[in-house]
Amino acid sequence: MPLDVKIDQPKLHAALKAANGIAERVAKHQPILSCVHLRADKTSFCVSATDLMLSSVEAISAEISKAGVLCVTARHLLNVVATLPSKEIRLQELENHWVQLTCGRISMKLAGVAPTDFPNLPQVEKLKMATVAAAPPLADLIDKTAFSISGDEARVNLNGLLLESTGKRVTAVSTDGHRLTKAALDLVLPKLENGIIIPRRGVTELRSLLARAKTGEIELGVSENRQHLFVRSGGLTLALKLAQVVFPPYMQVIPNAHRREAKVDRVELTLILTRSLTLAPETTASVRMSFSAKGKLLAVHADNPDLGVIDDEVELDGFTGEDIIVGYNAHYLIDALRAITTKLVVMRLQGELDPLTIAPVDGPEFISVVMPMRI
């Protein structure tokens, strides 16, 4: 039976915009993955998309005259719907998988494809979902850690965010091999024994869904085979394929001893490092940091033979240990400092070749580990 539905333009536009973020724009081997799947039955109208790693299904209200299924290129349909006025749109299935859109006096036809080629999506119906009443804190936890996920596709065990949960406390960890970030907070989530690893793109889509959770409530569930994480907010359900790899033993990376400790104003140090970046080598973003016990000063130096030299310094709120000169990637330091909200941060290190840790002073649990650079 050919599909025939009426739906408000704003609702359809929002659903297509979300689906288009998942549908592959260029799917050479499987063109169907660049399509959005539209299904109407007696009770619901659903917009679905997948790239086989991520899947989304969003149920939206519509006036359904005839049930049916359509598949149309996501980007083309989104571009068309975006230009239509904020009125009711009628979608009708025509012969050979074509679809007709009518909105007021506007009428257009788009070529579709056979919906039978669209992949089967992970099913959530039989899964027990747990309600999480605090989407904003979970979003904040992701923001504090996702920036150090590795972008090197060859290092598959570093290409995601590790999420652990005791049921009452959640920990997120990421690393790219040059730095590691760990944050934790008290939050009721389903227990995640041994943790799950959400791939980088899945983290992006999860963060977007959390931003859409207007009530602050979401539902979470992990499939029994631990292949997928399901997240639901309102009518939108997201299925994230989990990485089936072993995350590095991160606690072995975090130093448990140090000979030097410095406390410094977070905002002031961030500004100094940002200025230093303007004259740091573009390929390494390296800066030299000199900790002085006598003057309780942190001097920051950067130079680029093609651009120039910069020297700056900031007073330390406190320093224990011997003087030391070390080099770091300024981007890594700035990312860590921006993930912290307290006025002061504490930096700890052993020697020139040992990792530096950055943590808030009297703040929520957070630590960033940054490996040094030879200078």
Q: What is the pLDDT of residues 215-265, one digit of tens each?
A: 678 899 998 889 999 999 988 999 999 999 999 999 999 999 999 999 999
Domain spanning 130-251, CATH architecture: Roll (3.10)
Note whether 130-251 and 255-370 share their fold. Answer: yes
Q: How far apart are CA 177 and CA 18, in angstroms?
A: 32
Superfamily of domain 255-370: DNA Polymerase III, subunit A, domain 2 (3.10.150.10)
For the cut 80, the answer to whether the pLDDT of residue 27 exceeds it is no
For the cut 80, the answer to whether the pLDDT of residue 212 exceeds it is yes
For the cut 70, the answer to whether the pLDDT of residue 166 exceeds it is yes
Round the average pLDDT of the chain to a whole number and report it.
93
For the cut 60, the answer to whether the pLDDT of residue 1 exceeds it is no
Tokens of 247: 């995350």
**Residue in this structure with the two tokens 């990421």, named with its chain if needed:** 174
Tokens of 107: 């009428």
- Of the listed ranges 125-134, 200-209, 312-321, the least confidently predicted one is 125-134
Q: How far apart are CA 93 and CA 73, in angstroms?
A: 15
Q: How far apart are CA 324 and CA 39, in angstroms?
A: 64
For the cut 90, the answer to whether the pLDDT of residue 330 exceeds it is yes
Domain boundaries, the chain: 4-117, 130-251, 255-370
Residues 6+ away with beta carbon under 8 Å from 14: none
Q: What pLDDT does 296 receive? A: 93
Fold of the CATH domain 4-117:
DNA Polymerase III; Chain A, domain 2 (3.10.150)
Q: How far apart are CA 49 and CA 295, in angstroms?
A: 60
Q: What pLDDT does 26 receive? A: 64
Q: What pLDDT does 95 receive? A: 93
CB atoms within 10 A of CB 152: 10
**β partners of residue 107:** 102
Confidence of residue 194 (pLDDT cuts 50, 70, 90): confident
